[in-house]
Amino acid sequence: MNIESTEEVNLNYIFKKLEKAFKAFLRVCISIVQFYKKKWLLFLGIVIIGFIIGYILDSKYGYSKKYTQEIIIEPKYELKKYIYDFVNSLNDRIKEPSFLENLKLDSDLVKDLISVEVTPVIRTMDILDKLNIRYESEEDFHEIIKGYDANILENEAYTNFYRYHKLTFSFKTNDSKNEILSKKILEYIESNVYFNKLLAQNIKQTEKNLKKNKEILKYLDNYLEKLSKAPHKQGKDIIMIGVENESELLPTISTLLARKQELLNSITNQENILVFDSELFDIVERGEIVLLRKGISSKMMVKIPVLFFLIVSFLFLIKNLPNRIIQYINS
């Protein structure tokens, strides 16, 4: 019986202490609320002043800064996919020593590099030109073109259709080595063995076809010249151009002129290939490294008001703490 009564006394004592502590906690909370309610104008002014100071600091020092260089290129010979895959790999492995060694890059050269991005220069006409080539034999080509929405044409699935692509290099600082890095990366892309073999074969075949077409054009011009001088001899000593077998009808002047125009077009295209497609890609525009400010970071606009608020609160706490201690001792 005595044991049970003792346990009840202990439990009552514990509950009273907990109740007292809870009431003390509530009194502290209420006093804090009353204090800030009484001084709300003061703390509102402190927060506003802190916000203004934070805004000034953010405006001067708090910009999110990075330096970028944009280079627009025109890839040739299906090089686009390789460039996109290479850039993705570059961002993932740029800090690996073996990868840098393969690229013949020094680790000091890439220390300021943040990222490299490649994106297509969106031109709807590039895709329409590709679709025109693919569906030119279709009777309902125009209906097919109408079915392609402009937003869909900007999808990644059509990346390979675009003629121009933009490489964006992002750096931490404006070091002179950064331009060297972008140049070396482009040189590495251009040194790909497989695509260089493809390029050499295409150039060789184009030169061969160009030479052949010029010879045919020369024969055709000679024949047309003879024909113009002696039109009654059209059926004699004729050159068979564009005719696969003798059973076909002899070409007329109009078909010969049409054939000549085809040869001229082919020769022009082949000469353009030799002039403009003699490299794996052309650099359309090489921009300078420029400072890019993303905007105010807003860090100081938050930190300064909070800091001022806490400092002033702490000063009031220090000021009122002795009186609170005396009241607690007396109570």
Residue range 220-255, pLDDT digits in tens: 888 888 877 765 555 545 555 454 554 455 667 788
Is the pLDDT confidence value at 86 over 80?
yes
Residue pointed to by tokens 């564009």:
242
Q: Looking at the domain assignment, is residue 144 inside a domain?
A: no
Q: Quote the CA–CA distance of 266 and 271 in Å, as a whole number.
A: 9
Write the DSSP string, 60-75.
Answer: HH-EEEEEEEEEEEEE
Q: Looking at the domain assignment, is residue 156 inside a domain?
A: no
Tell me if 147 sits within 8 A of 93, measured CB to CB: no
Among 45-59, 193-207, 293-307, the range with the most confident prediction by mean pLDDT is: 193-207
Q: Looking at the domain assignment, is residue 134 inside a domain?
A: no
Do 99 and 171 have their domain in common? yes
Among candidate residues 329, 289, 256, 38, the one with its CA nearest the CA of residue 167: 289
Do 57 and 75 have their domain in common? no
Q: Looking at the domain assignment, is residue 142 inside a domain?
A: no
Do 287 and 169 have their domain in common? yes
pLDDT of residue 150: 57
Q: Determine the longest span between alpha carbons in the chain, in angstroms.
A: 146
Do 91 and 177 have their domain in common? yes
Do 232 and 324 have their domain in common? no
Show the beta-strand stretches assigned E in the chain: 63-75, 113-120, 165-171, 281-286, 290-296
Q: What is the mean pLDDT of residues 133-150?
A: 57
- What CATH number has the domain bearing residue 115? 3.30.70
For the stretch 160-213, pLDDT in tens is 778 889 999 988 888 888 888 889 999 999 888 888 898 899 899 999 999 999
160/306: higher pLDDT: 306
Strands 290-296 and 63-75: antiparallel
For the stretch 198-213, pLDDT in tens is 889 989 999 999 999 9
Q: Looking at the domain assignment, is residue 95 inside a domain?
A: yes
Please state, for a pLDDT cut of 70, what percent of the chain lies above it.
73
Compute CA 15 distance to the chain's CA centroid, rounded to the nearest angstrom: 65
151/189: higher pLDDT: 189
> Per-residue confidence at 9, pLDDT binned at 50, 70, 90?
low
- Mean of the per-residue pLDDT values of the chain: 78
Structural domain for 260, as ranges: 200-276
What is the number of structural domains in the chain? 3
Q: Looking at the domain assignment, is residue 148 inside a domain?
A: no
Do 169 and 262 have their domain in common? no
Of 11-15, 43-47, 53-57, 325-329, which gets the smallest average pLDDT? 325-329
pLDDT of residue 211: 93
Among candidate residues 27, 8, 26, the one with its CA nearest the CA of residue 324: 27
Do 52 and 72 have their domain in common? no
Do 81 and 47 have their domain in common? no
Do 326 and 235 have their domain in common? no
Q: Looking at the domain assignment, is residue 133 inside a domain?
A: no
Q: Looking at the domain assignment, is residue 181 inside a domain?
A: yes
Tell me if 88 sits within 8 A of 191, measured CB to CB: no
Do 245 and 314 have their domain in common? no
Do 102 and 174 have their domain in common? yes
> Per-residue confidence at 36, pLDDT binned at 50, 70, 90?
confident
pLDDT of residue 247: 44
> Per-residue confidence at 52, pLDDT binned at 50, 70, 90?
confident
Is the pLDDT confidence value at 84 over 60?
yes
Do 71 and 179 have their domain in common? yes
Is the pLDDT confidence value at 40 over 50?
yes
Is the pLDDT confidence value at 300 over 60?
yes
